[in-house]
């Protein structure tokens, strides 16, 4: 890997007013509002990728409410999502995009975010040849220089030195 995508985790909370389903006029159901947020986010086209990176992707990873009862309108609804992004984006800009989208689709929605790494790309140079030659000498196969997959600990080193990840194939990850 000669670079990696960035990653941002987000939690969107839509407030409501809890109430019994028999008295919906006394409640405010946050679930349809959260559904609009999720639908709007799913419709976003982040990019088409570039010569170095695959397209960025936004994935909803969990949805929850404050109620597990079948006859209670919940007081809030929350969606959890992750965006894996290429070097066409910065984490903070994506957080702001999600924040604006959530607020427009469900006024009062809040967004919490944790950027776990920015995208990075190691510039072409001697490190490519040195590592490629070593891999080919040991395996008999030339490596494929790629940025596919998620982020890596290389994000902590890229500001200090060129970074190349070499290890297990992605198919054996989680």
pLDDT in tens, 6-24: 999 999 999 999 999 999 9
Between CA 142 and CA 49 the distance in angstroms is: 25
Eight-class DSSP state of 19: E
Work out the average pLDDT over 104-126.
93
The sign of the dihedral angle between the CA atoms of 151, 154, 155, 161 is negative
Residue 35's pLDDT is 98
Local confidence band at 36 (pLDDT 50, 70, 90 cut-offs): very high
What pTM value is reported for the model? 0.86
pLDDT tens-digit map of 127-136:
888 888 998 9
Residues near 54 by beta carbon (within 8 Å), at least 6 away in sequence: 5, 86, 147, 148
CA distances from 23 to 16, 20, 27, 72 (A): 14, 5, 7, 10
């Amino acid at each position: 890997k000669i670079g990696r995508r960035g990653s941002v985790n987000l939690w969107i909370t839509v407030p409501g007013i809890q109430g019994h389903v028999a008295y919906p006029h006394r409640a405010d159901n946050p679930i349809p509002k959260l559904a609009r947020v999720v639908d709007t986010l799913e419709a976003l086209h982040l990019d088409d990728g570039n010569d170095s990176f695959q397209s960025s992707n936004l994935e909803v990873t969990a949805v929850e409410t404050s109620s597990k009862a079948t006859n209670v309108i919940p007081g809030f609804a929350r969606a959890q999502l992750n965006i894996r992004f290429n070097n066409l984006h910065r984490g903070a800009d994506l957080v702001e995009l999600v924040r604006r989208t959530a607020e427009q689709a469900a006024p009062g929605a809040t967004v919490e975010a944790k950027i776990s790494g920015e995208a990075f790309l190691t510039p072409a140079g001697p490190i490519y040849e040195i590592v490629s030659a070593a891999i080919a000498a040991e395996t008999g196969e030339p490596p494929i220089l790629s940025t596919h997959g998620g982020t890596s600990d290389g994000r902590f080193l890229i500001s200090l030195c060129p970074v190349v990840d070499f290890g297990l194939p992605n198919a054996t990850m989680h």
